[in-house]
Amino acid sequence: METRHWKKVTSVFFITIGLFVQSAWSQQKNNLSLTGTATASSFSQGFEPDKAIDGKTSSESSWRNKAGEDESWFMLKLPGATEIVELSIKTPIESSVISDFKIQTILNGSWRNVKEISANQNHQVTLTFEKPILTDRLRLWIEKRSQVAVSEFEVYGRQYVDSTATEVKKILVNQSGYNLYRPKRFSAPEIKEKTPFVLEQQSNEKIVFTGYIENGVGDFSDFNPESEEEFIVIANDHKSFPFRIGPNWLERITYRNMIEFMIGARHYVGTTNLIRPLSFEWRDGDFFNWALQGLVALYLSNPEAFERMEKTVSYVPNSSFPSQYKGLWGALEPYKEDVPDLLKLIHWDVDVKISQGLEHEMQKAELAHFLYAWPYLEKWLPQQNFDRVYEYTKDKWEKTTVNPRSTSQYDLSPEHNLLALKTQMGTTKGEMPPGYSVIPNLMMYEVTKKRGEKDAEKYFEAAYRQMKWMIQNLDWKDPIVTKGQRVSEHMTMRAFAYFQNSFPDRAPEGLKEKVKDWAKVAISRSDNYWDFRKYSDDEDWVPPSWNETGNVLGFPAALFAAMSILEDQELNGKLEILAWSHFDNAFGRNPVGRHFSHRAPEEIEGVDVGWYDAHKGGIGLLEEVKFVFDGSPKSFHYPNNPEVGNLGWTEGWVQFNTAFNISMAYLANYYTRLELSMDSKKELRINLEAPLNFDPTKEEHVTVHIQNEQGQSISVRLKKESPYSNQLTGVLPCSKNRLGSGNKKIEWNKGDAIRVSYGLGYFKKEASYLRMD
């Protein structure tokens, strides 16, 4: 176990949660209410809520509600999620005691009772909690119709400072590295404005770039070296960790890791064969893990990258397991061994859904992604897979009820008909994001229309109604609508982008304007030296009481989705910076200077410091799984409090990784570009920019297909332009009425266009060239 040293502080106090070892800490009892803010259902003139947290116990300095209320409440909000061990409620001696009341905390957006007191006769009530309560807010709830007074509402917890925080760098970078030709920034919150900085090549201390720190941020986006050198940022006497800059660096260090995580996190057949609660396809995945659509999106966005990967997964027959596993998977015919691992994971997810008859609307909706992608999957998987899934999905789509095995205690769905208008708002758990039914319904429309189904239009109409409702009713300034959806926030903006990009002529009025408004709110909450989008306009940096790791990892997907339909280049430039800053945040550009993964230094190239620790056990049992995102800074770490240390909940979750998967898919799609041109030699030049160059020392290539207007196609192999290039190029000779050479030729007449594409389905990028001679 890692050893940490702690010291007591007397001026500023912070609260710890998680593992507690008495000998490793020094502590002092302090009234944390003095650092909080108070609100109430009402108050009498001169007896405002803040008088109950001012440290004074007199009758004059107390909170009093207004007489006649049926229900009264007083709420204390602390600066961040806190582990509370004791609560004391004091009433003035001149006032009546509060005989019956409840103490409540907020969980998943709802108030929950933690203590209920009745027939109290004392002016001071002290409650202790053997198991500390993790929350950032407590509420005193009084149901009886009476006037009450509270002179002091005192909350106590353990307050510590991590002395190792002095080791946190003053210059915080992405510890692994940055992508060539993409935004590259660092944070230096404690270094003075306009301080000059340099980038130094570590091998020979050569200065290769200079700039100035502005508003706690340094920008070296214009520095794009073609080398394998490591660099450091230096300002005054402070140095950053070393890092690399390379083509598709983020993709290089994460693509295989993403697959490895999903392989290990499979339920029943991953790193453990134990049957876990709240688990279907993935351990602790519940019904809202969004794994299938993320895996499909990865393949559609960059098929060559995943097809060329080493294949390590083998089919595990259900018959090889004990009887209690019977029927948990195996309804779909198995794949062959030469199928890419990513597609084997897609097969696994769908197989479990069909085998177990999962009917929850979120689970059903995921199947639409599989059906939509079938034209690109059918060369790898048996036709029976599609036939079985298609019939099941159509049969269950409008079913309003759900069998008990398909749901959990987090289910908020009023009913499960996916054609119904969805107006229920999810909580900060992330179980019901706005717009979750839009993309699935649009996909079902396309799938059923191609198959000649007479009722195909009903799916489009459902998606249209839902999108129209979202345009009219979602308030982007309400944080519960955006960052408050936590791991699932990306679902909402992706729905907007999919509708506009796939059906631009049929999209509801006001869609683009709504997206632009969202972008402006996101940017307005990100003006800080982390380029980090805050939870709200006030002091909240992250959603209350949660480890928000998945929101940081999934936010780039929402940003890239918005950028795909916005035409304001200045606005898109700011959104692009935010997308990369949130990737950087996960890789160490944050107040504690740590990567989100505890084992990152062992598993990810170039990372120096991982998260403080990793959760042992839990429902997901992820300790043996590779590439787990364990934790992230909490509100009390921001804006720059590294001394808080390892406070707040730490536990990896499959939803964190699936959010990252989706962001990486949208990243690949956003930067994929194709261009066709004719050179002086009468050769057609094909130029593809896509995240395929992961290693400058290796020859990497991709095959694309050129198609003419008659449907004839010819393949051409593209190669890297240079070792550090993001571009892959190829040429085809052009002669009279022909394109290609030898046995590989297609017709190409004057006035005809030829086309080439990369990416599949809704992520397809295409270029065309019209022959004029």
DSSP per-residue letters across 594-632: -BSSTTHHHHSTT-----S----STTTT-TTSSS-----
Instruction: Measure Cα distances from 201 to 215, 247, 256 in Å.
Output: 25, 18, 28
CB 223 within 8 A of CB 245: yes
- 173 closest CA partner among 184, 160, 162: 184
Q: What are phi and psi of 233, to 5 degrees?
A: -95, 135
The 3-state DSSP class for residue 101 equals strand
Where do we find the tokens 């982390």?
530
User: Would you state the structure tokens that stand for residue 574, as one six-digit string?
Assistant: 């700011």
pLDDT at 447: 98
Instruction: Measure Cα distances from 247 to 5, 146, 224, 227, 634 in Å.
Output: 40, 68, 9, 10, 32
Length of the chain: 773
Instruction: Measure Cα distances from 676 to 116, 178, 183, 653 in Å.
Output: 72, 29, 27, 43
pLDDT at 133: 85
Find the DSSP H helices in 196-331: 249-264, 291-301, 303-307
User: Would you state the structure tokens that stand for residue 557, as one six-digit string?
Assistant: 């997907």
Query: From the CB of residue 299, how many other CB atoms can be counted at a distance below 10 Å?
Result: 25
- 667 closest CA partner among 753, 565, 583: 583
Give one DSSP letter per residue of 545-586, joined into a string. Answer: TS--HHHHHHHHHHHHHHHTT---HHHHHHHHHHHHHHHHHH
As beta bridge partners, residue 744 has: 741
Compute the distance between CA of residue 674 and CA of residue 758 in angstroms, rounded to an integer. 8
Instruction: Measure Cα distances from 8 to 11, 24, 34, 55, 592 in Å.
Output: 10, 11, 18, 22, 19
The distance between the two most distant Cα atoms of the chain, rounded to a whole number of Å, is 103
Compute the distance between CA of residue 437 and CA of residue 491 in angstroms, rounded to an integer. 9
The 3-state DSSP class for residue 307 equals helix
pLDDT at 540: 82
pTM of the model: 0.89
Compute the distance between CA of residue 642 and CA of residue 638 in angstroms, rounded to an integer. 8
CB 171 within 8 A of CB 236: no
pLDDT at 80: 64
CB 215 within 8 A of CB 245: no
Q: Give average pLDDT by consecutive 10-residue segment, the chain, 773 residues.
A: 30 30 40 89 95 93 88 86 87 92 81 92 93 86 86 82 74 98 98 98 97 98 97 97 98 98 98 97 97 98 97 97 97 97 98 98 98 98 98 98 92 96 92 97 98 98 98 97 96 98 98 98 97 90 81 98 97 98 98 97 97 94 97 90 84 97 98 94 93 94 94 94 95 91 90 96 97 83
Cα dihedral 612→618→621→625 (10° resolution)? -20
Q: How many CA atoms lie within 13 A of 105 on its CB side?
A: 18
As beta bridge partners, residue 331 has: none
Q: Which positions ≥6 away from 201 have C-beta within 8 Å? A: 207, 208, 229, 230, 231
- 539 closest CA partner among 143, 37, 10, 20: 37
Q: Is 149 left (phi over 0), alpha (psi -120 to 50) or beta?
A: beta
Q: Which positions ≥6 away from 150 have C-beta within 8 Å? A: 52, 62, 63, 74, 89, 90, 91, 98, 140
Burial label for 391, CB within 10 Å (0-12, 13-18, 19+), is: exposed
CB 459 within 8 A of CB 394: no
pLDDT at 310: 96
